[in-house]
Chain A
């Protein structure tokens, strides 16, 4: 036999970091300029090596005040007076600048987040540009957004985003907000602030009026100060259900329009007539894309019992070809876990899975010495009552459950407080649409998984949050209907008003 395991080891193909031009420390981006925060600064590190990348400012209450005030000023004086067409032109500029600096952004994202460069390069950053391009075109067409003529912007939007798709989530938040005519204060996650700060430079290059977008960094406290600031009109949050719940409580009665994109525990349902090779790829993409740090990840595999062993065997074989390692290597499939804290959570839930009696299988990969890593893992013999089948692991851990009939699949898929996404694999056209109809989830992928597009609304049912991002629906989250506004929503027309006088 000829040489074995030589080619598949692929020689290292690292993307060069020479394209980066990072500063040693970053301030807060407020009113068009960087300035130091008054909180205690902190380092952002590469989760693949634990090496420090840059020192990052923390915004304290006074900084949040400054940022919100800048956004308010920009809203009143500049942005709300600009025509939709001009707002759109700024967004088009931003889209183009993102495309021009795409490689740099991708490298920075992989460095700071730990995700494979092939994902940041081929998924995250292209979608960022697409998101700005899509919403740019909406800015002067708001009459067609579905809220009647002359819909109004809300004012200052406070946005808090997670660490799993740092720049993409920023685009999901900023693009529709600006297109609709709002100004923004946004806070990236504390473990992944880097690309947001490079994005601030892009805003400067685009000559976006000062204060229209303010980017402040810090941990949860900063986020809490921001969403609870009395002068914001809109709160948009993507992150954990626990934090989302706290925001829903703290903003109750404030009149702030709220959209939440929270956790999930998606079922990926594989019927026995599925296009099997594609289903295997879809399962892999569903849970191991971005190390499973995906709120819509297909973390519960529901397989029809008569093909379960077959699917699990194929899945194990396929997982054995995944390459874990340096996020900047172009051939890496599985990058680093974003933080030590997240790694510990994944470890804890996986250990619980074993203790509860599920069978654990882990792909045989070499784990680098430094950094945070977790090899792709499958749990079989999982019951719906196991914690790994109910709680969001947010890591490369798949729970395999089985079902016998479509009704059972639907019932198990819906048996969760979450309702963000689901997958269906079958060649039976009638069944896939029938099942899709019955699933209580905001996004249903049939014979595919983890697809995103700026034209396609994304968001959950139940405890996965409310509101949609993407498409016309995503725009509506940043607008209010002129008719409802002027009538002071709900004050009834005189002809219909009767009843007891007080």
Chain B
């Protein structure tokens, strides 16, 4: 597994390059509202057709391991404890004690105050080249707090050693058309991701697509998050239904593809990551996402710095399928560990 350096653009630099130095609420609005619309029926039909790909034998084996490598193993409960986080980390490091060939997950994803326990539990297995620690921040999941609180939340997590910050956007502001406010907050949070050495924690921007509701909004919010400096765009907190869906993820992948083409494509285009989170529980579903990635932005996106699954129960289903492929027999839930 190779981890490329996070894109180290100064906050808002992309927007200034694209829209111009005199970035205003108005110019931002004109830009976002000028994006092509999305036809819901066509988008969903395309997603459904990607879902009919039949992934067998060697491709399936590869896909199952790939899914594990792309998982942000997540616990985001009010009842989380250091013990729970420790157990999660243990699972992240050795997903299947009965088969040590199973790869490690990409990251563990926890609340900010749990970051120190995660970092400690990972020990040498963590760090930039190892399993990352991702922290949700900015008054997750609602995002209803003042900007200073959001920034403090973010700084806390970064200072505790979080490699990645999963922030939420202000959906209320977005839905009422205050795109500039949403933009400024992302820029500010991105700035708060800066470590003392000048490097940045990777910023994932959670759009909470279940609250944005329309595909046009998802496209605009994706674009907005990228312009403001997000390294990843992420569908959901997992606390709102619907969480990740294949059509929404496909749409976000299309935006990412547009951005890549716009910034130069094969000759130096910027690659933005995508993270569907919540609701992906089976290998079968996860494979559909891999297909969508491979056929929309290309197979090179199937790397942890460009694609993640935010999931908790998915891992065990993948392990069950993996055991089936290895042994030739169907496995059962008692043969995988609970964390």
Please say whether the chains A and B touch (CB closer than 8 A).
yes
Do the beta carbons of A427 and B59 come within 8 Å of each other? no
Whether A275 sits at the interface, judged by CB under 8 Å, is yes
Do the beta carbons of A7 and B42 come within 8 Å of each other? no
- One digit per residue, 1 when the CB lies within 8 angstroms of any chain B CB and 0 when it does not, for chain A 285-306 equals 0000000000000000000000
Do the beta carbons of A275 and B37 come within 8 Å of each other? yes
Which partner residue on chain A sits nearest B41 by CB separation?
A448
Given known contacts A276-B36, A281-B42, A331-B53, is B300 in contact with A7 (CB within 8 Å)? Answer: no
Do the beta carbons of B57 and A278 come within 8 Å of each other? no
Which partner residue on chain B sits nearest A274 by CB separation?
B36
Residues of chain B within 8 A (CB-CB) of A496 are none
Given known contacts A2-B302, A7-B290, A7-B299, is B56 in contact with A278 (CB within 8 Å)? Answer: no
Whether A366 sits at the interface, judged by CB under 8 Å, is no
B16 to chain A, nearest CB (A): 24
Which partner residue on chain B sits nearest A15 by CB separation?
B54
Which partner residue on chain B sits nearest A426 by CB separation?
B37
Report which of A11, A279, A282, A447 forms a contact with B58, defined as CB distance below 8 A: A11
Which of B60-68, B177-185, B197-205, B324-332 is the contact stretch?
B60-68
A122 to B52, CA, bound (A): 10
Do the beta carbons of B42 and A448 come within 8 Å of each other? yes
Do the beta carbons of A282 and B42 come within 8 Å of each other? yes
A3 to B58, CA, bound (A): 14
| Chain B facing A: main interface SS | helix
Residues of chain B within 8 A (CB-CB) of A10 are 53-56, 59
Whether B2 sits at the interface, judged by CB under 8 Å, is yes
Report which of B42, B55, B254, B303 forms a contact with A447, defined as CB distance below 8 A: B42
Do the beta carbons of B58 and A281 come within 8 Å of each other? no
- One digit per residue, 1 when the CB lies within 8 angstroms of any chain A CB and 0 when it does not, for chain B 34-51 equals 001111011101100000
Which partner residue on chain B sits nearest A2 by CB separation?
B303
Whether A24 sits at the interface, judged by CB under 8 Å, is no
Do the beta carbons of B2 and A1 come within 8 Å of each other? yes
A5 to B1, CA, bound (A): 16
Whether B294 sits at the interface, judged by CB under 8 Å, is yes
| Chain A facing B: main interface SS | loop
Within B173-231, the residues touching A (CB, 8 Å) are none
Within A241-289, the residues touching B (CB, 8 Å) are 273-279, 281-282
Whether B13 sits at the interface, judged by CB under 8 Å, is no
Do the beta carbons of B56 and A12 come within 8 Å of each other? yes
Do the beta carbons of B46 and A281 come within 8 Å of each other? yes
B67 to chain A, nearest CB (A): 11
Do the beta carbons of A11 and B39 come within 8 Å of each other? no
Residues of chain B within 8 A (CB-CB) of A447 are 39, 41-42
A472 to B300, CA, bound (A): 51
Do the beta carbons of B1 and A2 come within 8 Å of each other? yes
Do the beta carbons of A330 and B54 come within 8 Å of each other? yes
Do the beta carbons of B60 and A6 come within 8 Å of each other? no
Residues of chain B within 8 A (CB-CB) of A273 are 36-37
Report which of A7, A9, A281, A448 forms a contact with B302, defined as CB distance below 8 A: A7
Do the beta carbons of B60 and A11 come within 8 Å of each other? yes
Whether B25 sits at the interface, judged by CB under 8 Å, is no
Given known contacts A2-B1, A13-B56, is B38 in contact with A277 (CB within 8 Å)? Answer: yes
Whether B295 sits at the interface, judged by CB under 8 Å, is yes
Whether A8 sits at the interface, judged by CB under 8 Å, is yes
B161 to chain A, nearest CB (A): 26
Do the beta carbons of B62 and A2 come within 8 Å of each other? no
A318 to B58, CA, bound (A): 25
A3 to B59, CA, bound (A): 12
Residues of chain B within 8 A (CB-CB) of A8 are 294-295, 299
Do the beta carbons of B53 and A277 come within 8 Å of each other? no
Which partner residue on chain B sits nearest A446 by CB separation?
B39
Whether A492 sits at the interface, judged by CB under 8 Å, is no
Whether A16 sits at the interface, judged by CB under 8 Å, is no
Do the beta carbons of B299 and A4 come within 8 Å of each other? yes
Whether A115 sits at the interface, judged by CB under 8 Å, is no
Residues of chain A within 8 A (CB-CB) of B38 are 275, 277-278
Do the beta carbons of A275 and B42 come within 8 Å of each other? yes
A271 to chain B, nearest CB (A): 10
Do the beta carbons of B46 and A7 come within 8 Å of each other? no
A2 to B53, CA, bound (A): 22
Which partner residue on chain B sits nearest A13 by CB separation?
B54
Do the beta carbons of A11 and B56 come within 8 Å of each other? yes
A185 to B62, CA, bound (A): 53
Whether A118 sits at the interface, judged by CB under 8 Å, is yes
A14 to B257, CA, bound (A): 31
Which partner residue on chain B sits nearest A310 by CB separation?
B261
Centre residue among A3, A8, A447 by max chain B CB count within 10 A = A8
Residues of chain A within 8 A (CB-CB) of B52 are 118, 122, 330
Centre residue among B36, B43, B295 by max chain A CB count within 10 A = B36
Which partner residue on chain B sits nearest A428 by CB separation?
B37
A189 to B324, CA, bound (A): 46
A13 to B287, CA, bound (A): 15
B60 to chain A, nearest CB (A): 7
Report which of B43, B57, B63 forms a contact with A7, defined as CB distance below 8 A: B63
A276 to B42, CA, bound (A): 10
B306 to chain A, nearest CB (A): 11
B289 to chain A, nearest CB (A): 12
A-B interface, 5 closest residue pairs, ranked by CB to CB distance from nearest: A278-B42, A13-B54, A330-B54, A275-B39, A427-B37
Seed contacts A10-B54, A279-B42; 17 additional CB < 8 Å A-B pairs: A2-B303, A6-B59, A7-B294, A7-B302, A8-B299, A11-B55, A118-B52, A122-B52, A274-B36, A275-B42, A282-B42, A321-B295, A330-B52, A330-B53, A427-B36, A427-B37, A447-B42
List 17 interface pairs A-B (beta carbons < 8 Å), by A numbering.
A2-B303, A3-B62, A7-B63, A10-B54, A10-B56, A10-B59, A11-B60, A122-B52, A278-B39, A281-B45, A330-B52, A330-B53, A427-B37, A427-B39, A447-B39, A447-B41, A448-B41
